[in-house]
Structure 1
Amino acid sequence: MPLSPRPLSGREAATYRTRVTLLGTAGGPPWWEGSDRQGISTLITVGDAQYLIDCGEGWGRSFRRSGESVPGFEHGIDRFRAVFLTHHHSDHTIDYPNLLLLAWHNGSNSLRQPIQIYGPGDRGSLPPIFGDPEIDPGVWCPESPTPGVHESTEKLLAAYATDINDRTRDEGKRNLRDIFEVHDIPLPTAATAHANIDPAPVMEPFQVYQDEYVTVTAILVDHRPIFPAFAFRFETADGSIVISGDTGVCDNLVTLARDADLLLHECIDPDWIEGRVGAKSGNDDPYLRQHLLAAHTPIDAVGPQAQKAGVRTLVLTHLVPGDTPVDKWQRAERGFDGLTVVGEDHMHFGLGAPIAHDPATLVAAAPEPARG
């Protein structure tokens, strides 16, 4: 059996046909003092194809610095096959417009086919008011308060109509709809109907995407009150990768991650929660405290989740707060028999066995069919 996936240098990782690169490992909207972690984003490379999961702040710059972008003028996203958004929180989508609007200048002329984008659809109902129900915050954009990724993308492009029209009419740029195809991930009606009661009902993983390199399945996870919130599993000929998205402790994630080679799991520091909104914080907010604990996975709960799933390597990412010391995050290894790694930006992992010493030969290497 191959060794459990472990952190590799970029040069080492380039000898693997299938590899995972952490573009950004910070969670949450704030800018964390004392931390240079970029916003949450992950890249999976299989042969000459690449898959992006989430578009946190700085993902593009991090991608170019990671060594996974083809160098040279008008190179960048020319190997992208698909992009997956786990949920609609802004720390996962804030640099999504960069992907759309900078594509013309960063590799889209070399695309062999449109980039497929998959994300949550319209949840169908507003989330309940959290905290004091007597305080009504009103509804933003009441004509469409919970749009899915397809509608959101159309609205983003509409906001940039001046730029888009100028570049297509004056510079002859391609129609962006020929570069990207955007899909709401469909859900069973029953799941949508009970979104505010049970955002992650017990279910089996379902297929979202497949090509000759990967099969991607998804499952609902518990990031209440946000809905839908997905975790994704990528099956390749070299192994399996699971990305938790944002979630509290959740049986569905264990189901999706069963026997995976690599589990990238979010994590929150409960001491930070207590210091910010706990009883002794001077800013006591039991509603927000409970929300943060329910919607995310505390350090000591991550290892048992990975153990239940039987994964080989656990990687902590989407770290909240981004400036918690690494040795404290390392406590997540308790209760887990496999390898635990605290994720860092630009960290690489290889799956399977090295297949070449010359990275240039990897792009032409034909993969085995994806498992699953």
Structure 2
Amino acid sequence: MEVIILGSGSPLPDPERAGPSTLVRVAGYDFLFDCGRGVLMRSAAVPVLPVSFKAVLFTHLHGDHTSDFNDVVTMRWVMSPGPNPLHVIGPVGTQKFVGATLKALESDIGYRLTHHEDLKAGPELITQEVEQGVVLENGEVKITASPTDHRPVHPSVGFRVEAEGRSVVIASDTIPCDGLDSLCVDADVLIQTVIRKSLVEAVPSQRFQDILDYHSDTEDAGRTAARGRVKTLVLNHCVPAPPPGTEDEWIAEAAAHFSGKILVSHDLLRIVV
């Protein structure tokens, strides 16, 4: 199993970091978790093309996690030599979001159908809304969802991918909660969105202060990893984005509560599990 952080950035535009998106490659399948800004540019660097995604899985429907879904849909469709339905999995609300995306793409789809005789129909998306339990299992890979807590962004879910005797948890944006803890038990890797509380508190902006109540900070992430007996904790989608050379500061805060391996993510970070 291999995990590749395609985008590690915060919601703010960053020339060095794409928006949040994680690729899990296992048993010959490519699973894409979230579709932040620049996802296909980063996947091209792997290289992985959108035609190969087995499924796109959304942890929640905040814009920074969904902004390039339209690009994934369009490029998968036009780059596929024949019908290639895309499985889209996410919390309640995903069906509405997918429908709205196709509606927004309606004119573009029409242009391409008119121009390319070999395109006989528009993109085919198979949408599955999930709350808790096994959401995909094919004999080689099992993916389980559990509710997380990113309110008022609700519902939100985390995912656990299990295959080849290994497990990876995609926590995304959440405060500590029972649903996340249930996913983390004895996981090999936990990928956790984090903020650094002291840095956020120092910004004189109420809008920035508001993010404190619905994200885990570095210490929260360390405690979650410790409770779950996780082997490796990956601090991801960090707010504010860590300047080069400051990664040890982030690691130290999490390490106060967790004795396992800790990484600070960057775009195209590869983790072999």
With structure 2 as the length reference, what TM-score do the two structures score? 0.92
SS in 1 for 2:151: coil
Report the equivalent of 2:53.
Answer: 80
SS in 2 for 1:244: strand
With structure 1 as the length reference, what TM-score do the two structures score? 0.68
Distance 2:143 2:229 in 1: 19
Deviations 1:82-119 (A, max 9, x none): 1100101011000111011122333x2267x5221011
Report the equivalent of 2:107.
Answer: 162
Distance 1:213 1:81 in 2: 13
Distance 2:55 2:226 in 1: 30
Distance 1:110 1:48 in 2: 20
* Contact 1:248–1:293 (CA under 8 A) maintained in structure 2: no
Match of 1:334 among 236, 256, 267: 256
The alignment-based identity, stated in percent, is 30
Report the equivalent of 1:44.
Answer: 24
Distance 1:208 1:344 in 2: 28
Flag the structure with higher strand content. Answer: 2
* Contact 2:74–2:123 (CA under 8 A) maintained in structure 1: no
In structure 2, the CA distance between the partners of 1:335 and 1:174, relative to structure 1 (3 Å rule), is farther
Q: Which one-letter code corresponds to 1:175 in the other structure? A: A
Deviations 1:206-233 (A, max 9, x none): 1111223311111111111110111100
In structure 2, the CA distance between the partners of 1:62 and 1:110, relative to structure 1 (3 Å rule), is farther
Distance 2:9 2:171 in 1: 14
Deviations 1:139-187 (A, max 9, x none): xxxxxxxxx2222222222222221112123303243343x212222x4
Aligned-pair distance for 1:41? 0.3
User: Unaligned regions of 5+ residues in structure 1, if any?
Assistant: 1-17, 70-75, 122-147, 188-204, 352-372
Aligned-pair distance for 1:264? 0.5
Match of 1:257 among 170, 180, 184: 184
Aligned-pair distance for 1:288? 6.2
Work out the number of aligned pairs and report it.
269
Distance 2:218 2:56 in 1: 28
Q: Which one-letter code corresponds to 1:83 in the other structure? A: V
Q: Which one-letter code corresponds to 1:292 in the other structure? A: I
In structure 2, the CA distance between the partners of 1:54 and 1:174, relative to structure 1 (3 Å rule), is farther
* Contact 1:266–1:317 (CA under 8 A) maintained in structure 2: yes
User: What RMSD over aligned residues (CA atoms) do the two structures have, in Å?
Assistant: 1.9
1:22-37 pair list within 5 angstroms:
22-28=5-11, 30-32=12-14, 36-37=16-17
Aligned-pair distance for 1:304? 1.3
SS in 2 for 1:294: helix
Instruction: Indicate yes or no: 2:63 matched with 1:90.
Output: yes
* Contact 2:27–2:163 (CA under 8 A) maintained in structure 1: no
* Runs of at least 4 residues off by over 6 Å: none
Q: Which one-letter code corresponds to 1:159 in the other structure? A: A
* Contact 1:78–1:110 (CA under 8 A) maintained in structure 2: no
Match of 1:173 among 113, 119, 122: 119
Distance 2:44 2:257 in 1: 37
* Contact 2:200–2:208 (CA under 8 A) maintained in structure 1: no
Deviations 1:285-309 (A, max 9, x none): 3x863x4222001112211110001
Instruction: Indicate yes or no: 2:224 matched with 1:305.
Output: yes
* Contact 2:196–2:240 (CA under 8 A) maintained in structure 1: yes
Report the equivalent of 2:266.
Answer: 344
* Contact 1:24–1:38 (CA under 8 A) maintained in structure 2: yes
Match of 1:114 among 73, 80, 85: 85
Report the equivalent of 1:140.
Answer: none
Q: Which one-letter code corresponds to 2:42 in the other structure? A: S
In structure 2, the CA distance between the partners of 1:275 and 1:78, relative to structure 1 (3 Å rule), is same
